[in-house]
Chains A and B, each alone.
Chain A
Amino acid sequence: MSERKFRYVGTRPIRHDGVDKVTGRALYGADFSLPGMLHGAVLRSPHAHARIVSIDTRRAEEMEGVEAVLTGADLPELDARSMPGTDGRISVRDLGHNCIARDRVLYHGHAVAAVAATRLEIAREALGRIDVVYERLEPVLSLERALEPDAPVLHEHLPGRARGLQDAPGNVAGRVAFKQGDLEQGFAEAEVVLEREFSTEMVHQGYIEPHACVARVGEDGQVVLWLTTQGPFIARTYCANVLGIEPGRIKVIPSEIGGGFGGKTTVYQEPLAIELARRAGRPVKMVMSREEVFRATGPTSGTRIQVKLGARRDGRLVAASSRMYYEAGAYPGSPAGPGALAALGSYRIPNFQVEAFDVVLNKPKVNAYRAPGAPMSTFATESLMDDLARELELDPIELRLKNASREGDRAPYGPTYGPIGLVDALEAVRAHPHYRAPLEHGSPDEPLRRGRGVAAGFWFNAGMQSSADVSLHADGSAVVSTGNPDIGGSRASLALMVAEELGIPVERVRPTVSDTDSVGYTDGTGGSRVTFATGLAAIRAAQDVIGQLRERAARIWGVEPDAVGWEEGSAVPLDGAKADCEPLPIAELARQMAATGGPVVGRASLSAPAAGPSFTAHLCDLEVDCDTGRSRVVRYTAVQDAGRAVHPAYVEGQIQGGAAQGIGWALNEEYVYDPSGEMANPGFLDYRMPVASDLPMIDAVIVEVPNPTHPYGVRGVGETPIVVPLAAVANAMRDATGVRFDSLPLSPPRVLEGLERSAGEGV
């Protein structure tokens, strides 16, 4: 595999949708309209926890221009069976109740009613005329409170409650645990034992495009949904289940998508739009405001994570244990599982035990966010690894290399690693000029200090189901059609792989994103799976085209198909073919298609094998003003194993974007709640994401350790980059200030407080 010489893969062509996106022609979720279309709006709970005593919609219904009004009572009763295609992680009832509350509201912003009207202002005004009587209940707003024995219990029945949880507090929805070796003996062997508790707050994915859709329902009950989504097929399945209709009755047409990062892998207002459209007999458009996006769509969990590490003086880890609590929000389903699995995956540790809990409380239900669960647990373990390096007076990279997992090691989460790139990534950081560049720490009497931090980690990467069609045009160009919305340039990487197989220039391959009626089932754009799994389908579909073209050539030459080979875009005669057969280039075969058997369409559908994990190591220089607590990342280098970088510019782009999000998470981003459970900062002014001037250039370095489960060696790359910045930044802060901060974000007030506390302790 590594022998293969690539012609197009590894080049950096301009993306096929580039012109549409720089000219404003690309249509995103809110850009679509239909004749006669109504505008929908959602009434949201002003309480974090309350019983709905009654809802009276009559005054709204009477309004001129109001065409349909909806409450939870108008949707089918749902049972707790698990949503098809979600491995039992999501119950249909939870999902439906999150879309619109039934008898109880579980977070501030929870949908309670919806209206469709001829104009948006009318719909909004009508919301004000819906009379809801609430009986307020105590909101559960922290993990600490959720776990207390007398805390209000959010759900009487938690179907996901695993065995062994009977005695756990009532808001514990699930538990994941695994272990190896003998923990007690491991810690007994340790010469150094470090232990600490870490915490992180809820943060939002922060895609710039709010959720938006248009729904149309025909008289025959057929639904068409135009939608900005990472998963057209997921949206279809979820809407169908929540509404109690067959998935086959819904066609989802994905628009261009303005970012998602995991946040657009579920449904919120979409079933409401469909039901409003059905009732009104007219299409309905729904677009969220930014405030609604913050209050009512998936952030990711806040966490409390205790970690304990035991090592020998030479740096070898001998034991580790961790206990983690992840906020799920209002319904079960935090990423505690993957968080726990990711916590120790980078190192060889003979004895360990990890236990993670999924905890419900009165905040929005969390949703996937780039490498769900891993950044928090990695923040905890990699912070403690940094302390360990200091304690042992070892270089932090040296310590990690001593313990790094390698090919053939059994991952703590079960499988045995194939070729992986952790050692390569760590060594690349060590060899990078940034690592050797001198750092001016600043003098202890000056407020401005600098520090440097390193962290390593990985993400599993998903495989799952994908389909692709490749059809050949008579002019010799091709179209590759898949079911994955292109969130960050995947069209270009899919086209590159098809070009590579067919042997035609990448500009001659047009990648297109199909609707759910026009391409085979395809799991969502998530799990870093598109270039890997859908890429695999695209490669096989292209190979199917080649197989058919060899038959066409055989027919033209009057030979058996196996006497025809394929080389660099042409059918070539093999031994046994007639000597006078000239190679037939793809353009020629395409021209003759009609006469040789008709259109040529290649297809592939597959369930991809587990994708190889992608490892990474990041290096961060941070400057902090100890008078104000303000800090800034001044230099950043991120090294990652991409397996094989199909389009290196977009791999770098993923690395830079993920690092930037992680830096925001580390330094500033957090959901702030007032005591009543209302989010206090539901806008970009106070929920502060990195702006251009907050960041330096991010030096993205790709290493390539080919992944044996993909013919080119591709690994997923999109999620890994957000796994380690939290720790890299926190470790740089430790280096700059001498203080270990165990709570994120490192916002100025928190930094000042930490500095004062440590000064008070005389550290």
Chain B
Amino acid sequence: MARMSLNVNGRDVSADVPDATLLVELLREHLDLRGVHVGCDTSQCGACSVLVDGRSVKSCTMFAGEADGSSVTTIEGLADGAELHPMQQAFRECHALQCGFCTPGMVLSAIDLLERQPDPGESEIREWLEGNLCRCTGYHNIVEAVKSCAAAQRS
């Protein structure tokens, strides 16, 4: 067991978890953040992506202990009250989801991209999102959503 403290979605939390607990388990099972999805548990699908200190991370590849002292943002922590994050807004408006299972991971990963590169080209977006699988959309509208969010944030 290890005691750990971190900030999740703006709130300080501490938890006692077994040593080998993955970050995704801490978030889903202990903190009930079910928007963190598990599609593969072997770090290929990206459905479990979260932001750790602002950087997108697949939470199934990280031990909870490694996030000790960090600040973690999951999809649940993006909206400001009733106001969606611009990336959430863009996904919704661009019809960038069908089943929606990949969406939380996609949105968080895309936010990280725009932090690093506010004006990415199509191929930059596609390469950045390589770690996030979507089986429904063919990525077309996801790329559109990221572009439109980037344009909105720049203006």
Residues of B within 8 A of A256 (CB): 99-100
Q: B39 and A692: CB pair below 8 A? A: no
Q: How far is the CA of A23 from the CA of B38 in the complex (A)?
A: 16
Residues of B within 8 A of A689 (CB): 133, 135
Q: How far is the CA of A692 from the CA of B129 in the complex (A)?
A: 6
Q: A691 and B88: CB pair below 8 A? A: no
User: What 1/0 flags go to A645-659 for Cβ under 8 Å of B?
Assistant: 000011011101111
Q: B127 and A657: CB pair below 8 A? A: no
Q: A258 and B101: CB pair below 8 A? A: yes
A665–chain B nearest beta-carbon distance, Å: 12
A206 contacts partner chain B, Cβ-Cβ < 8 Å: yes
B95 contacts partner chain A, Cβ-Cβ < 8 Å: yes
Partner of A22, one of B37, B97, B135, B141: B97
Partner of B76, one of A24, A28, A259, A649: A24
Q: How far is the CA of A693 from the CA of B142 in the complex (A)?
A: 12
User: What 1/0 flags go to B61-88 for Cβ under 8 Å of A?
Assistant: 0000000000000111011000010001
Q: B101 and A653: CB pair below 8 A? A: no
A239–chain B nearest beta-carbon distance, Å: 23
Known: A27-B34, A290-B42, A650-B95. A207 touches B141 (CB 8 A): no
Q: A23 and B134: CB pair below 8 A? A: no
Partner of B75, one of A24, A289, A658: A24
Q: A24 and B42: CB pair below 8 A? A: no
Q: B100 and A26: CB pair below 8 A? A: yes
Q: A692 and B135: CB pair below 8 A? A: no
B56 contacts partner chain A, Cβ-Cβ < 8 Å: no
Q: Which of B92, B131, B135 has the most CB of A within 10 A?
A: B135
Q: Which of A210, A657, A689 has the most CB of B within 10 A?
A: A657
Q: B42 and A30: CB pair below 8 A? A: no
A490–chain B nearest beta-carbon distance, Å: 10
User: What 1/0 flags go to A688-701 for Cβ under 8 Å of B?
Assistant: 01111101011010
Q: Which residue of B lies closest to A659 (CB)?
A: B138
Q: A18 and B92: CB pair below 8 A? A: yes
B150 contacts partner chain A, Cβ-Cβ < 8 Å: no
Q: B133 and A684: CB pair below 8 A? A: yes
Residues of B within 8 A of A17 (CB): 100
Partner of A290, one of B41, B97, B135: B41
B98 contacts partner chain A, Cβ-Cβ < 8 Å: yes
Q: A21 and B103: CB pair below 8 A? A: yes
Known: A19-B84, A683-B42, A684-B42. A12 touches B103 (CB 8 A): no
A661 contacts partner chain B, Cβ-Cβ < 8 Å: yes
Known: A24-B74, A489-B98, A691-B133. A208 touches B45 (CB 8 A): yes
Q: How far is the CA of A207 from the CA of B95 in the complex (A)?
A: 18
Residues of A within 8 A of B44 (CB): 683-685
Q: Is the interface of A mostly helix, strand, loop or mixed?
A: loop
A31 contacts partner chain B, Cβ-Cβ < 8 Å: yes
Chain B contributes a number of interface residues (CB within 8 A of A) equal to: 54
Partner of B39, one of A19, A23, A26, A290: A290
Known: A14-B92, A21-B103, A698-B140. A653 touches B98 (CB 8 A): yes
Q: B142 and A692: CB pair below 8 A? A: yes
B115 contacts partner chain A, Cβ-Cβ < 8 Å: no
Q: How far is the CA of A115 from the CA of B5 in the complex (A)?
A: 34
Q: How far is the CA of A206 from the CA of B39 in the complex (A)?
A: 10
Q: A487 and B99: CB pair below 8 A? A: yes
B23–chain A nearest beta-carbon distance, Å: 16
Q: B143 and A657: CB pair below 8 A? A: no
Which of A1-27 touch B at CB < 8 Å? 12, 14-15, 17-19, 21-27
Residues of B within 8 A of A23 (CB): 35, 75-76, 78-79, 84, 88
B130 contacts partner chain A, Cβ-Cβ < 8 Å: yes
Q: A692 and B34: CB pair below 8 A? A: no
Q: Which of B45, B123, B127, B143 has the most CB of A within 10 A?
A: B45
Q: B136 and A653: CB pair below 8 A? A: yes
Residues of B within 8 A of A629 (CB): none
B57 contacts partner chain A, Cβ-Cβ < 8 Å: no
Residues of B within 8 A of A290 (CB): 39-42, 45
Residues of B within 8 A of A31 (CB): 34
A671 contacts partner chain B, Cβ-Cβ < 8 Å: no
Q: B45 and A684: CB pair below 8 A? A: yes
Q: How far is the CA of A504 from the CA of B76 in the complex (A)?
A: 33
Which of B107-144 touch A at CB < 8 Å? 107, 122-123, 125-127, 129-143
Residues of A within 8 A of B6 (CB): none
Partner of A24, one of B89, B104, B130: B104
Q: Which residue of B lies closest to A261 (CB)?
A: B135
B47 contacts partner chain A, Cβ-Cβ < 8 Å: yes
A140 contacts partner chain B, Cβ-Cβ < 8 Å: no
User: What 1/0 flags go to A610-651 for Cβ under 8 Å of B?
Assistant: 000000000000000000000000000000000000000110
Which of A170-222 touch B at CB < 8 Å? 205-210
Residues of B within 8 A of A26 (CB): 100
Which of A545-586 touch B at CB < 8 Å? none
Q: B125 and A24: CB pair below 8 A? A: no
Which of A668-686 touch B at CB < 8 Å? 683-685
Q: How far is the CA of A24 from the CA of B28 in the complex (A)?
A: 12
Partner of B135, one of A208, A695, A698: A208
Partner of A698, one of B103, B122, B138: B138
B36 contacts partner chain A, Cβ-Cβ < 8 Å: yes
User: What 1/0 flags go to A22-64 for Cβ under 8 Å of B?
Assistant: 1111111011000000000000000000000000000000000
Q: How far is the CA of A729 from the CA of B41 in the complex (A)?
A: 32
B130–chain A nearest beta-carbon distance, Å: 5
B16 contacts partner chain A, Cβ-Cβ < 8 Å: no
A65–chain B nearest beta-carbon distance, Å: 15
Q: Which of B35, B88, B104 has the most CB of A within 10 A?
A: B35
Q: B37 and A28: CB pair below 8 A? A: yes
B93 contacts partner chain A, Cβ-Cβ < 8 Å: yes
Q: A692 and B103: CB pair below 8 A? A: no
Residues of B within 8 A of A649 (CB): 95, 141
B58–chain A nearest beta-carbon distance, Å: 12
Residues of B within 8 A of A698 (CB): 138, 140
Q: A207 and B139: CB pair below 8 A? A: no
Q: How far is the CA of A25 from the CA of B74 in the complex (A)?
A: 12
B102 contacts partner chain A, Cβ-Cβ < 8 Å: yes
Q: How far is the CA of A397 from the CA of B3 in the complex (A)?
A: 67
B24–chain A nearest beta-carbon distance, Å: 11
Residues of A within 8 A of B126 (CB): 692-693, 695
Known: A21-B100, A692-B126. A15 touches B95 (CB 8 A): yes
A660 contacts partner chain B, Cβ-Cβ < 8 Å: yes
Residues of A within 8 A of B129 (CB): 691-693
Residues of A within 8 A of B138 (CB): 656-661, 690, 695, 698
A419 contacts partner chain B, Cβ-Cβ < 8 Å: no
A325–chain B nearest beta-carbon distance, Å: 28
A488 contacts partner chain B, Cβ-Cβ < 8 Å: yes
Q: How far is the CA of A85 from the CA of B97 in the complex (A)?
A: 32
Q: Which residue of B lies closest to A256 (CB)?
A: B100
Q: Which of A22, A289, A689 has the most CB of B within 10 A?
A: A22
Q: Which residue of A lies closest to B79 (CB)?
A: A23
Known: A208-B133, A697-B140. A488 touches B99 (CB 8 A): yes
Q: What are 21 A-B pairs with beta-carbon distances under 8 A?
A: A22-B75, A23-B75, A23-B78, A23-B84, A24-B76, A208-B40, A209-B99, A258-B37, A258-B101, A258-B102, A259-B136, A290-B40, A649-B95, A656-B137, A660-B138, A661-B135, A685-B42, A691-B130, A692-B143, A695-B126, A695-B138
* Given A14-B93, A653-B95, A697-B143; 7 other pairs, CB 8 A cutoff: A23-B75, A258-B102, A489-B98, A660-B137, A684-B44, A684-B133, A695-B138
Q: Would you list the 5 A-B pairs with minimal beta carbon distance, nearest first?
A: A24-B35, A258-B101, A660-B138, A21-B100, A24-B75
Q: A: which residues have CB within 8 A of B? A: 12, 14-15, 17-19, 21-28, 30-31, 205-210, 256-261, 289-290, 487-489, 649-650, 652-654, 656-661, 683-685, 689-693, 695, 697-698, 700
